């Protein structure tokens, strides 16, 4: 499948992958629809039963495949349909943020929001706000960056001579297209 | 169900994009989406159709499954919360396992919320692409069935709870009715008459209350609260806190001799049931028709308990009182000063929450002078005042002011202010629905009792109901005045001799077009309905949601108005939003019927989205075990592996997202399925 830049015809617009929990945020997004609220079309929602299901790998995977931002939506603290899945997500999110910062991904690109089933207007507000923030930040462009790095490594290899063991190259390739095996290697929270 | 043996190589997907009339087609180019999906891998067939959820739409899916040997189905239409069930059924009817179906939401999440047709079409394509990628990984799954315990818990003993409990009990089900107050009856028990028929509220309610008290299938626990709820649909474990009445419910016969013989000769403590307009003794029965007919003692004012507190603050038996009540009770021996709070545990299959509303606190609108001017009343106070069993025996007497001869004064003019705490950005924005009608009812009753001139100050008269508009017309004929305009203030600052000693209502008469001052003896505030103060706590207890205004949220405003997002828990009455008695009773009946559906079916099919552990990949690190809120993950000491008890797993997937070795799999939300969805939504879509 293609995983290219977000540019289609015309100006660049950000792409947001959203993970919404079934009980609160997904329902809130449904409510926004039923209420005919209007918001930016940049978001693509993936439904999960609970924000606790969000594996940090999902976020990393979305970013490496060309998303410019990731939005995670769960129930308000204390309101989780599964008692405390949202707290578990919050814990993972704190660590994930640190990891993303070290990777040079701006903080505003990955967001965790508590949105209850009644807050259709908050869905609208958050998505619009996030879209604006990402427009200011510009494309993340991780896939292109990986391509550049791969090219650079190939050039370096050619300069040095024989490819050697190619450890760096394998590392970049892994990030670019995580395999089932490599996903399991990354430490979970 | 035929579980087709499918491998990745022979996946045959049928894709359908629904126009939903104009709902989707107006914003999304459906034929273009179908054309795009046709070119995706594994797609055998791609169609657009006017209404997929219609019978012909569903038959189309079934026919295509057979004709084109499809083994996966994707429908892009409305929210899966609305029609996933429908299309899974169609997939199953076509001969496939229902879980080989996946749904794409392009209405609520797309056509209804976007304004650019090209963008919305591109988004629909991306979402469809994700579903096509995902559905290839779907597996055949079996639903598990859960048995339903036929016993029901009804929380709240107002008219909603009473009606729901009676309906279920008459159907032969065992019902626990739990009420926080000492008696059932709720707000309705306080009303004098009901609109528009002017039936006496007590006459229609109290027989129902006694029936509840006497019904062999109903266990009535008044003066009790829900402390804890565990379990899931069909199998709830509930702890009920029974507050001490200091009276044995088994031995009290309701003779009320203890009240007569209390050391307090006269009632001197605030009577909560009468909105503080009357007085009661420390040992009391809330009102004459209270159910159960059992007295109770208020330990905060009873002389025996006064200043006699144990080290933990709980009342203890003291010798500070002659205990004439105990003497009067005699060998019935019903008074028990040592009674303690008790926790009872019950098992029920379904729960109906009917916790009602509370009246808006009129002090929050200081301009209307409630609490400052004594002759400003709330509507509930007037209900008690005009009630024959109320504190004045139905005589409308002003709180302040006496006639020249010292006799109590009756009002000669009364102003009723509508929409207090309703339709106001400063307090509550919603219309409380019942205030126009009850204001007119009170206008009629007050006129009947006092012959006073009555002025109604309204924004709009809202009388939508059977016989309601007719009631309004009747009031006009009776000569009740209606002045359109929101009242600015109620003041005792007088300008003319006629206003002397009266309260002046200042209002802009928006029909006459000028500001008026209307002097009256009595002001009645038609306070709105708001959620109970502890609605948020109750909501958490039952794992429900609240709307923005704080009333409990129904599963669907139109199609599932008494269901909540938690299976087996239903809502009825004004806890879901302001409503009148007929609507409350109708809703209570509906909630009872919904509970009966589950009970009589005997079991419920549950989503198979539970998790399981791949034995060969589990390293036995135990990091998943503390994450599970249901203690569904266990550890096998011999094999050094974790395993999941499927019966306890609720399918949140929190353990799946946390397993360091990726050895936990959640059905319907497998890693492969979600990663392919991520890949799909980010696919480049041609413009």
pLDDT greater than 80 at residue B317 = no
Could you give the CA distance from residue B227 to residue B92 in angstroms, rounded to a whole number?
Answer: 42
Q: Strand, coil or helix: what is A33? A: helix
- Phi, psi of B115, rounded to the nearest 5 degrees: -120, -10
Q: In the structure, what pLDDT confidence band is assigned to residue B313 with cuts at 50, 70 and 90?
A: low
pLDDT score for B647:
81
pLDDT of residue B575: 97
B 373-392 near A (Cβ less than 8 A): none
pLDDT value at residue A8: 46
Asked whether residue B193 carries a pLDDT value surpassing 80, the answer given is yes
Whether residue B252 is preceded by a cis peptide bond, meaning omega within 30 degrees of 0, is no
- pLDDT interval class at B314 (50, 70, 90): low
Query: Nearest-CA neighbor of B687 among B301, B76, B120?
Result: B120
pLDDT for A180:
47
Q: Which of residues 46-105 of A touch B (CB under 8 A)?
A: 46-50, 52-56, 58, 61-62, 65-67, 78-79, 81-85, 88-89, 92
How close, in Å, is residue A104 to chain B by CA atoms?
21
Residues of chain B found within 8 Å of residue A78, distances taken between Cβ atoms? 540
Minimum mean pLDDT range among B5-9, B106-110, B229-233? B5-9
Residue whose pair of structure tokens reads 């814990």 in the numeric block: A91
- Per CATH, the number for B358-530 is 3.50.50.60
Which part of chain B is CATH 3.30.70.20? 611-666
> In the prediction, which pLDDT does B177 show?
98
Q: What is the pLDDT of residue A78?
A: 82
Percent of chain B with pLDDT over 90: 87
- pLDDT 10s digits, B318-358: 777 888 999 999 999 999 988 999 999 999 999 999 999 99
Q: Can you give the pLDDT at residue B303?
A: 87
Q: How far apart are CA B450 and CA A132, in angstroms?
A: 65
Compute the mean pLDDT over every residue in chain B, rounded to the nearest whole number: 93
Residue ranges covered by each domain of chain A: 16-137, 142-185
Of B450, B503, B456, B499, residue with least CA distance to B476 = B456
Pick B352 or B303 by higher pLDDT: B352
Domain(s) labelled CATH 3.50.50.60 in chain B stretch across: 358-530
Residue corresponding to tokens 């029609």:
B83
Q: Which fold has domain B611-666?
A: Alpha-Beta Plaits (3.30.70)
pLDDT value of residue B9: 57
Lowest mean per-residue pLDDT among A71-75, A144-148, B178-182, B529-533: A144-148
Q: pLDDT grade, residue B445 (50/70/90)?
A: very high
Q: Of A41, A125, A116, which Cα lies nearest the Cα of B118? A: A41
DSSP codes joined into one string, A106-148: -GGGEEEEE--TT-HHHHHHHHHHHHHHHHHH----HHHHHHH
Of the candidates B583, B639, B467, the one whose C-alpha atom is nearest the C-alpha of residue B159 is B583
Q: At what angle do helices A167-176 and A142-160 cross, to 10 degrees?
A: 160
Helices (H), B547-662: 581-601, 654-658
DSSP string for residues in A65-122: TT-SEEEEEEPPTT--TTSSHHHHHHHHHHHHHHHHHHHT--GGGEEEEE--TT-HHH
- Specify the CATH number of the domain B8-142: 3.40.50
CA B230 to chain centre: 19
For B684, which residue in chain A has the nearest alpha carbon? A2
pLDDT tens per residue across span B163-172: 999 999 999 9
Q: What is the pLDDT of residue A162?
A: 60
B667 phi/psi in degrees, rounded to 5: -55, 140
Q: Best of B105, B110, B230, B657 to disrupt the A interface by mutation (most A CBs within 10 Å)? A: B657
B549: closest chain A residue by CA: A118
- Residue B405 is encoded by which pair of tokens? 């001869």
Residues of A in contact with B671 (CB under 8 A): 55, 180, 183
**A16-137: which CATH architecture?**
3-Layer(aba) Sandwich (3.40)
- Helix (H) / strand (E) element for B483: namely strand B481-484
Q: How far apart are CA B184 and CA B212, in angstroms?
A: 9
Interface predicted TM-score (ipTM):
0.83
CB B679 within 8 A of CB A62: no
Question: What's the confidence (pLDDT) of residue B1?
Answer: 38
User: Confidence class of residue B558 from pLDDT cuts 50, 70 and 90?
Assistant: confident
Geometric angle at alpha carbon B273, from B271 and B275, rounded to 5° = 75
Torsional class of A73: left (φ above 0), alpha (ψ -120 to 50), beta (otherwise): beta
Q: Is the pLDDT of residue B387 over 70?
A: yes
- Would you call A2 and B683 a contact, using CB atoms and an 8 Å cutoff? yes
Of B609, B627, B660, the CB nearest to A187: B660
Per-residue confidence (pLDDT) for residue B343, from 0 to 100: 97
Q: Which residue has the higher pLDDT, A39 or B5?
A: A39
pLDDT in tens, chain A (189 residues): 333 344 444 689 999 999 999 999 999 999 999 999 999 999 999 999 999 999 999 999 999 999 999 999 999 988 888 888 999 999 999 999 999 999 899 999 999 999 999 899 999 999 999 999 999 999 999 999 889 989 999 999 988 876 555 445 444 444 544 444 444 444 444
**Which pLDDT score is estimated for A188?**
44
> pLDDT, tens digit, for every residue of B459-505?
999 999 999 999 999 999 999 999 999 999 999 999 999 999 999 99
Tens-place pLDDT, residues B643-660: 998 888 989 999 999 999
CB contact (8 A) between residue A44 and residue B682:
yes
The predicted pLDDT at position B646 comes to 86
Q: Which residue of B has its CA nearest to A38?
A: B113
């Amino acid at each position: 499948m293609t995983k290219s830049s977000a540019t289609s015809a015309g100006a660049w617009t950000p792409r947001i992958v959203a993970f919404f929990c079934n009980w609160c945020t997904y329902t809130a997004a449904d409510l926004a629809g039923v209420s005919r609220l209007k918001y930016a079309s940049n978001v693509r929602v993936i439904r999960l039963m609970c924000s606790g299901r969000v594996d940090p790998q999902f976020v990393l995977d979305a970013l490496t495949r060309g998303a410019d931002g990731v939005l995670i939506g769960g129930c308000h603290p204390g309101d989780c349909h599964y008692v405390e899945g949202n707290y578990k997500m919050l814990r993972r999110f704190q660590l994930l943020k640190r990891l993303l910062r070290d990777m040079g991904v701006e903080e505003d690109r990955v967001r965790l929001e508590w949105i209850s089933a009644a807050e259709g207007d908050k869905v609208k507000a958050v998505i619009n706000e996030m879209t604006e923030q990402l427009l200011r930040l510009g494309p993340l462009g991780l896939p292109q960056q990986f391509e550049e790095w791969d090219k650079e490594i190939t050039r370096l290899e050619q300069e040095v001579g024989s490819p050697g063991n190619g450890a760096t190259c394998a590392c970049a390739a892994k990030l670019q297209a995580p395999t089932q095996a490599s996903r399991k290697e990354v430490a979970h929270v | 169900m035929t579980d087709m043996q499918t491998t990745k190589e022979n996946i045959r997907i049928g894709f359908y994009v629904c126009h939903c009339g104009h709902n989707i087609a107006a914003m999304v180019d459906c034929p273009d989406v179908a054309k795009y999906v046709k070119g995706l891998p594994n797609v055998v067939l791609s169609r657009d159709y006017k209404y997929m959820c219609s019978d012909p739409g569903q038959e189309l899916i079934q026919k295509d499954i057979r004709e084109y040997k499809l083994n996966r189905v994707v429908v892009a239409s409305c929210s899966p919360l609305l029609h996933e069930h429908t299309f899974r059924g169609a997939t199953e009817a076509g001969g496939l396992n229902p879980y080989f179906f996946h749904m794409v939401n392009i209405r609520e999440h797309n056509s209804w919320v976007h304004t650019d047709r090209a963008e919305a079409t591109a988004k629909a394509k991306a979402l469809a692409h994700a579903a096509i990628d995902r559905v290839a990984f779907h597996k055949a799954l079996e639903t598990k069935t859960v048995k339903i315990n036929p016993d029901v818990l009804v929380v709240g003993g107002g008219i909603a709870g009473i009606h729901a409990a009676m309906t279920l009990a008459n159907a032969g089900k065992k019902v626990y009715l739990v009420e926080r107050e000492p008696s059932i009856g709720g707000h309705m028990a306080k009303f004098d008459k009901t609109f528009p028929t002017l039936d006496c509220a007590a006459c229609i309610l109290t027989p129902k209350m006694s029936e509840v008290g006497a019904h062999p299938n109903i266990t009535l626990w008044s003066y009790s609260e829900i402390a804890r709820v565990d379990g899931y649909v069909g199998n709830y474990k509930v702890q009920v806190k029974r507050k001490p009445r200091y009276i044995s419910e088994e031995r009290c016969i309701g003779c009320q001799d203890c009240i007569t013989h209390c050391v307090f000769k006269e009632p001197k403590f605030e009577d909560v049931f009468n909105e503080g307009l009357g007085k009661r003794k420390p040992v009391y029965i809330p009102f004459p028709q209270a159910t159960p007919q059992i007295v109770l003692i208020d330990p905060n004012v009873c002389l025996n308990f006064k200043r006699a507190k144990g080290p933990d603050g709980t009342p203890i038996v003291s010798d500070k009182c002659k205990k004439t009540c105990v003497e009067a009770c005699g060998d019935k021996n019903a008074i028990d000063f040592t009674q303690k709070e008790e926790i009872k545990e019950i098992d029920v299959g379904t729960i109906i929450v009917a916790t009602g509303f509370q009246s808006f606190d009129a002090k929050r609108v200081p301009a209307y002078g409630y609490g400052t001017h004594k002759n400003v009343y709330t509507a509930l106070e007037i209900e008690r005042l005009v009630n024959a069993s109320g504190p004045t025996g139905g005589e409308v007497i002003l709180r302040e002011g006496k006639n020249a001869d010292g006799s109590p004064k009756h009002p000669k003019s009364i102003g009723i202010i509508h929409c207090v705490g309703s339709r106001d950005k400063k307090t509550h924005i919603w219309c409380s629905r019942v205030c126009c009608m009850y204001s007119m009812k009170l206008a009629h009753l007050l006129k009947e009792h006092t012959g006073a001139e009555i002025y109604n100050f309204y924004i709009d008269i809202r009388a939508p109901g059977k016989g309601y508009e007719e009631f309004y017309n009747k009031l006009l004929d009776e000569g009740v005045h209606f002045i359109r305009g929101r009242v600015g203030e109620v003041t005792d600052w007088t300008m003319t001799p006629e206003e002397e000693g009266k309260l002046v209502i200042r209002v802009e008469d928006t029909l006459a077009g000028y500001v008026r001052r209307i002097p009256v003896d009595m002001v009645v505030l038609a306070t709105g309905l708001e959620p109970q103060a502890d609605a948020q706590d109750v909501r958490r207890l039952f794992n429900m949601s609240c709307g923005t205004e704080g009333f409990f949220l129904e599963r669907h405003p139109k199609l599932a108005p008494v269901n909540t997002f938690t299976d087996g828990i239903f809502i009825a009455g004004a806890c879901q939003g302001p409503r009148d008695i007929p609507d409350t009773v109708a809703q209570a009946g509906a909630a009872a019927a919904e509970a009966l559906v589950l009970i009589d079916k005997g079991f419920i099919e549950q989503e198979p989205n539970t998790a399981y552990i791949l034995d060969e990949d589990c390293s036995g690190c135990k990091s998943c075990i503390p994450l599970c809120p249901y203690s569904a993950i266990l550890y096998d000491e011999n094999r050094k592996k974790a395993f999941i008890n499927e019966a306890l797993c609720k399918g949140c997937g929190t353990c799946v997202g946390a397993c360091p070795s990726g050895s936990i799999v959640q059905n319907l939300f497998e890693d492969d399925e979600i990663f392919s969805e991520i890949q799909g939504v980010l696919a480049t879509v041609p413009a």
